[in-house]
Amino acid sequence: MEEKNTLKSGFGSRILHWIQNYKQYIIQYFGLIFVIAVFLYLTDGDLFSARNLETLIRQLVVILTITLGMAFIYSHGGMDISVGAVVALSSLCATYVMNLTAGQVLPAILVSIAVSVTCYLLNIIVTNQFGLMSTISSLSVMFVARGIVTYVNSMSTDKIEVHNTAGLELFRSNTPFLIGTMAVLCIVMTVLFNLTKLGKQNRAIGDNPLSAMQSGVRVKKVKVEAYVLAGIMVGIAAVFSLSRTGSVSEKTGSGLEMDAIVALILGGMALNGGAKSRISSAIIGSFTYVLLNNGLVMAGVDTQVVSLIKGIIFLIVVFLTIRQPKSKKVLPR
Amino acid sequence: MEKDLFLETKNLEKAFDGIKALDGVSLKVYCGQIQGLIGENGSGKSTISSIISGIHTATKGEILLRGKPYRPRSPLDARDNRICMIVQETGTISGLSVADNLFLGDEAMFLQHGSINRKKMQREAEKSLEKVGLSFDVTAPIETLSFETRKLVEIARALYFDPTLLIVDETTTALSYEGRSLIHKIMRDLKEQNKAVLFISHDLPELMEICDRLTVLRDGKLISAFRKEEFDERLIKQTMVGRSIQDNFYRSDFDASHGEKRMMQVSHVDAGPLKDVTFDLHEGEILGVGGLSGSGMHELGKLLYGMLPPLRGEVTVLQDTKSAGGKEIPVRVKNIQTAMENGIGYVSKDRDQETLLLNASIKDNLVISALDKLKTGFFILPRAEKEFSQKQVGSLHIKCSGVNQTVGELSGGNKQKVSFGKWIGNQSRILILDSPTRGVDVGVKTTMYQLIYQLKKQGCAILIISEELPELIGMSDRVLIMKDGCVSMEFQRSPELVESSIIEYMI
């Protein structure tokens, strides 16, 4: 019967229906294309000049690595605002390890990941044990991590920096390596998200924790797994971030948490998680966000205004994605 | 005697996203009469009531209220016209007191020198509760009341505004026997006072008992209207589904035999409201559990599924042969995971909130409880998921546009089939079904019963928890009746078993 009625209702409403169903995809790809088009025009094509492409890739690698991990947290309905501070703390520890081991990179990477995973474990254990909102416990983790970094900085007379940066060179400016890493991370995370129990159970929790639980999902355990995964990714991101600056200050990584959220939303991520969450939100969103950031600066927009413009775009996207069409919500059974 | 016409709809139409939910319905509601409305899921019953009560607006057509055009823009607007509705879902807000809930949005009535006169509000609240025969502390938070009492508070709220037309939308399905009779009494009282009632329900016997007129909707169209003297259960059912169905849709045999294997054993368990419960569930047996809503029967289901830990006593399940290497030993049900590993499946009474992922696709819903069975190494391949879900959709005849359709868009019956499919698909040997036909229409009920019977024949052990006694009598090999957390009586399947002989053990 439904089929017949749909046919009756004509072409126009079918298009509307289609738009409604694929809204997330439309925002996702349209946003990216729009940003590319506008800034290519405004910068006379300089946006994609060889030099700027390298800059873009260096900016992209940090934010993409973070959002790929965050996607798992978002998909089960969690949210995290401690990324920036955790990146700072991981970078700090990695710096010390590098200085102690005369510029060895591998131990630094492992320590960075370990520190980050510890922060995220703390975060989810507090959330699980006290039934707190994940945002709030991540707020406390943020303050603790940022506090340690600020304290250590204030105690140190010299600037905290990596003495021997030769090992970090690969992570800083070797474009093929950066592209390769991003590609591998994207593939691995996409597979984990779409083809494994971890990804599927996280999305089920995002839809309805009670139903997921009654279908045999160990809700708390699965959330912990998502946070560990996110911790690993943030630890890797911290290494990329450190290799760009070579030093750690109390400002390191600040604002990254918001960058990650905005990137995910620009990519069409469902903020409440669930079945509609997709890993491509992280990938496309990161591209859009980096292009937007870079393009605004290249187009000669004052740095003072950039933040304001980002805020307005954020509002528009939230308005388009979060607002539910009325008729769909109240359709009686 | 012809009564006064209160409300009349003329060729009412309503479309959602281009899909017609209501197609030219002309309905008349008279003062001093209880007008029944019945139809399968998705037939438009709820749509028409929400248009009359101002929740939706009609796409086409008009409504006449005492002969004058009436187009409510909001439920408040409808209330000003003395039309109130009670909905199926909860309409109260936790955290507020009973009195606050009763006068939510109308606090201004008690305004005195810029602040609310609490005393006066509480007095009025007590008065309005008295009208429905309740009396308790109105300052208590509403969540301390049972679901049933909360429903009655909603009714008190509606009646406080002295409606000329009260719409009761499937409210009684969730209530116990006592709650139902109270609502029936309220409706009859209204009728006595020459008020109109529009009563929407799935329960045909209930409607036939209460209503003066009965209108049948199907696919958004008004199919036929009956007067009290024309009521005929079989004919009405036929009209509802549009084809003739058998008078008796339960199983027809009285062969109560089942396998010897004891699939689950419950011995001397205390848990939650349950006190010293002991019984066995056998292979190929349909065990019915009945009682009033506070009797602990719903908790019994949760106990068997490992969600409610026993304080005393033991719940064991026969270990799945595959994992025990051929030996079958009883193991304790510690949690949901041990329950699932040993082939127990559970469908909650609150299907939408506890069993299904409404925003996810049919496929996602079906595979979520079978992920381990679908794994190829570490991965769950899309092809395996698709094959698995298409098999379930096919064998259960789930009406859908495809396995990728969102479950929330399905009708109640098809949703229930999906929740059955979750457990049939992962080869459960024991099914615990809490109120399996709640909110499901006659047509789907028949399919459900056939399915349950088939599963029994395949050797599944099935526990049906239900508030509908005819269903328990019609389907079970054995019926346990619960009262105050204890098993008060046990009945074997027999043609002589009737409702009246069971009821005395429930109350």
Tell me the average pLDDT across B422-436: 91
Are the beta carbons of A333 and B364 separated by less than 8 Å? no
Is-contact B206 B212, C-beta < 8 A?
no
B178 and B111 housed in the same domain: yes
CA distance A18 to A23: 8
| B:372-411 residues touching chain A, CB 8 A cutoff | 372, 375, 378-382, 401, 406, 409, 411
User: Cα B254 from chain centroid?
Assistant: 28
Residue A63: name the closest of A321, A301, A300, A287 by CA.
Answer: A287
User: What is chain B's alpha carbon radius of gyration, rounded to the nearest angstrom?
Assistant: 24
Is B445 within a domain?
no
B184 and B311 housed in the same domain: no
Tell me the average pLDDT across B159-178: 80
pLDDT tens across B390-419, in order? 999 998 888 888 898 888 888 778 888 999
pLDDT tens across B272-301, in order? 889 999 999 999 999 999 987 778 899 999
B215 and B271 housed in the same domain: no
Is-contact B437 B469, C-beta < 8 A?
no
* Shortest CA distance from A16: residue in chain B: B17
* Shortest CA distance from A202: residue in chain B: B368
Domains identified in chain B, total number: 2
pLDDT at B42: 64
pLDDT at B498: 81
Q: Where a domain ends, among B180, B209, B241?
A: B241
Q: How confident is the model at residue B39 (pLDDT cuts 50, 70, 90)?
A: confident
What is the distance in angstroms between the Cα of A10 and the nearest Cα belonging to chain B? 8
B234 and B267 housed in the same domain: no
Is-contact A34 A261, C-beta < 8 A?
no
Torsion of CA B397, B400, B406, B410, to 10 degrees: -80
B33 and B141 housed in the same domain: yes
May I ask the CATH class of domain A29-321?
A: mainly alpha
CA angle B347, B353, B357 (to 5 degrees): 85
Contacts of residue A137, defined as CB under 8 A and 6 or more positions apart, other chains included, come to A123, A124, A126, A127, A130
pLDDT at B433: 94
B153 and B189 housed in the same domain: yes
pLDDT tens across B172-182, in order? 666 777 788 88
| Residues of B with Cβ-Cβ distance to A208 under 8 angstroms | 353-354, 356-358
pLDDT at A89: 97
Is-contact B313 B503, C-beta < 8 A?
no
Angle between the N-to-C axes of helices A50-75 and A197-207, in degrees from 0 to 180, rounded to the nearest 10: 70
Q: Where a domain ends, among B211, B241, B271?
A: B241
pLDDT at B325: 58
**Is B135 touching A (CB cutoff 8 A)?**
no
Contacts of residue B22, defined as CB under 8 A and 6 or more positions apart, other chains included, come to B12, B13, B14, B44, B47, B48, B51, B58, B220
| Residues of B with Cβ-Cβ distance to A212 under 8 angstroms | 357, 368
Q: How confident is the model at residue B248 (pLDDT cuts 50, 70, 90)?
A: low
CA distance A282 to A266: 9
> In a 3-state reduction of DSSP, which class is residue A333?
coil
What is the distance in angstroms between the Cα of B355 and the nearest Cα belonging to chain A? 4
- Number of Cβ pairs < 8 A linking chain A and chain B: 115
What is the distance in angstroms between the Cα of A142 and the nearest Cα belonging to chain B? 32
What does each C-alpha distance from B68 to B6, B71, B73 come to in angstroms?
10, 10, 16
Beta-bridge partners for B70: B63
More confident residue, B485 or B237: B485
- DSSP state for residue B467 in the 8-state scheme: S
Are the beta carbons of B356 and A327 separated by less than 8 Å? no
Tell me the average pLDDT across B46-68: 87
**Is B241 touching A (CB cutoff 8 A)?**
no
CATH number of the domain within which B154 lies: 3.40.50.300
- What residue segments make up the domains of chain A, in order of their start? 29-321
B300 and B197 housed in the same domain: no
pLDDT tens across B192-216, in order? 999 999 998 877 888 888 899 999 8
* Shortest CA distance from B57: residue in chain A: A327
B224 and B303 housed in the same domain: no
pLDDT at A329: 38
> In a 3-state reduction of DSSP, which class is residue B37?
strand
B225 and B273 housed in the same domain: no
What is the distance in angstroms between the Cα of B118 and the nearest Cα belonging to chain A? 34
- Suggest the residue from B200, B340, B368 to mutate for an interface test with chain A (most A CBs closer than 10 A): B368
Contacts of residue B248, defined as CB under 8 A and 6 or more positions apart, other chains included, come to B474
B155 and B301 housed in the same domain: no
Is B404 within a domain?
no
B212 and B275 housed in the same domain: no
DSSP string, B253-301: -------S-EEEEEEEEEETTEEEEEEEEETT-EEEEEE-TTSSHHHHH
In B115-156, DSSP assigns E strands to: 115-116
**Is B336 touching A (CB cutoff 8 A)?**
yes
Buried b (16+ CB within 10 A) or exposed e, A188-224: ebbebbbbbbbbbbbbbbbbbbebbbbbbbbbbebbb
Is-contact B250 B436, C-beta < 8 A?
no
pLDDT at A120: 97
Is B444 within a domain?
no
Q: How confident is the model at residue B18 (pLDDT cuts 50, 70, 90)?
A: low
pLDDT tens across B320-379, in order? 766 555 567 888 999 999 999 899 999 998 888 889 998 899 999 999 999 988 988 889
User: Cα B415 from chain centroid?
Assistant: 13
Q: Where a domain ends, among B241, B273, B292?
A: B241
pLDDT at B1: 47
pTM: 0.77
How, if at all, do strands A160-161 and A247-248 pair?
Answer: antiparallel
* pLDDT exceeds cutoff 60 at B244: no
The pair of three-digit structure tokens given for residue B347, joined into one six-digit string: 């469908």
- In this structure, what are the phi and psi dihedrals at residue B77, rounded to the nearest 5 degrees? -60, -45
CA distance A56 to A51: 9
Q: What is the pLDDT along chain A (333 residues), one digit of tens a residue?
A: 334 444 445 677 778 777 777 777 888 888 899 999 999 998 888 888 988 999 999 999 999 999 999 999 999 999 999 999 999 999 999 999 999 998 899 999 999 999 999 999 999 999 999 988 899 999 999 999 999 999 999 998 888 998 888 888 889 889 999 999 999 999 999 999 999 999 999 999 999 999 999 999 999 999 999 999 999 999 999 999 999 989 999 999 988 998 999 999 888 888 788 888 899 999 999 999 999 999 998 888 888 888 888 888 888 877 776 655 443 433 333
Residue A309: name the closest of A52, A17, A21, A35 by CA.
Answer: A35
CA distance A327 to A9: 16
Interface list for chain A against chain B, based on CB atoms closer than 8 Å:
1-2, 5-6, 8-10, 13-14, 16-17, 20, 191, 195-197, 200-201, 203-204, 207-208, 210-218, 274-276, 327-328, 330-333
More confident residue, B319 or B489: B489
Are the beta carbons of B353 and A210 separated by less than 8 Å? yes
CA distance A28 to A22: 10
Residue A277: name the closest of A203, A200, A201, A185 by CA.
Answer: A203
CA distance B383 to B375: 11
Tell me the average pLDDT across B244-249: 58
How, if at all, do strands A247-248 and B19-25 pair?
Answer: unpaired
Are the beta carbons of A201 and B367 separated by less than 8 Å? no
Buried b (16+ CB within 10 A) or exposed e, B266-292: beebebbbbeebebbbbbbbbbbbbbb
B309 and B270 housed in the same domain: yes
* Percent of chain B's residues with pLDDT above 90: 27
- DSSP state for residue B502 in the 8-state scheme: H
- Write out the residue range of the structural domain in which residue B107 sits: 5-241
- DSSP state for residue B376 in the 8-state scheme: B
What is the distance in angstroms between the Cα of A11 and the nearest Cα belonging to chain B? 10
pLDDT at B501: 81
> So what's the ipTM on this one?
0.84
pLDDT at B19: 64
